Amino acid sequence: MNYNFDTRVDRSSIGNLKETLCPRHIRDMDIIGYSGAEMEFKTAPSVIEAMTACVQNGLMGFTLCDARYREAVCWWMETQRNFQIEKDWIVPTHGTIFSVATVIRMLTRENEGIIVSPPIYYRYEQAATRLNRKTHYNWLIEKEGKYFLDFDDLEEKMSDPKNKLYILCNPHNPTGKVWCKADLEHLAVLANKYDVIVYSDEIFGEIVFDAHKCIPYSEVEGARKHAIVATSLGKTFNFTGVNHANMIIENEKLREAFINQRDADHFGSIDPVLYAALLGAYSEAGANWKNAMVSHVKACGEMISTFFSEFLPKVKISPLEGSFVIWIDWRALNLEGEALRHFLVDEAYLELDQGKDYGEKYCGFSRMSIAVPKKDLRKSLDLLLKASEKRGFTSKVV
* d(C-alpha 277, C-alpha 348), whole Å: 38
Can you tell me whether residue 312 is helix, strand or coil? coil
For the chain, what percent of residues have pLDDT higher than 90?
96
The whole-chain average pLDDT of the chain stands at 97
What's the whole-model pTM score?
A: 0.97
pLDDT score, position 395: 78
* d(C-alpha 64, C-alpha 228), whole Å: 21
Domain spans, the chain = 17-44+285-390, 62-273
pLDDT score, position 398: 39
If we measure between CA atoms, which residue out of 17, 36, 54, 26 comes closest to residue 278? 54
* pLDDT tens figures, 28-62: 999 999 999 999 999 999 999 999 999 999 999 99
* pLDDT tens figures, 91-130: 999 999 999 999 999 999 998 999 999 999 999 999 999 9
pLDDT score, position 1: 82
Long-range pairs of 312-318 with CB within 8 A, sequence gap ≥ 24: 312/388, 312/393, 312/394, 312/395, 313/395, 313/397, 314/393, 314/395, 316/144, 316/145, 317/145, 318/145, 318/146, 318/147, 318/175, 318/176, 318/177
Say whether pLDDT at 176 is over 80: yes
* pLDDT tens figures, 317-328: 999 999 999 999
Phi, psi of 371 (to 5 degrees): -85, 75
Say whether pLDDT at 165 is over 90: yes
Say whether pLDDT at 397 is over 70: no
pLDDT score, position 132: 97
Helix, strand, coil shares of the chain, percent, nearest 5, are 45, 15, 40
The CATH class of 62-273 is alpha beta
Q: Which fold has domain 17-44+285-390?
A: Aspartate Aminotransferase, domain 1 (3.90.1150)
pLDDT score, position 121: 98
* pLDDT tens figures, 353-366: 999 999 999 999 99
Say whether pLDDT at 10 is over 50: yes
For the chain, what percent of residues have pLDDT higher than 70?
99
| Dihedral sign computed on CA atoms, order 321, 78, 196, 133 | positive
If we measure between CA atoms, which residue out of 231, 208, 244, 200 comes closest to residue 77? 231
pLDDT score, position 396: 63
Can you tell me whether residue 65 is helix, strand or coil? coil
Q: What is the arithmetic mean of pLDDT over 77-87?
A: 98
* d(C-alpha 292, C-alpha 100), whole Å: 31
Strand order in the sheet with 353-354: 316-317, 325-329, 365-369, 353-354
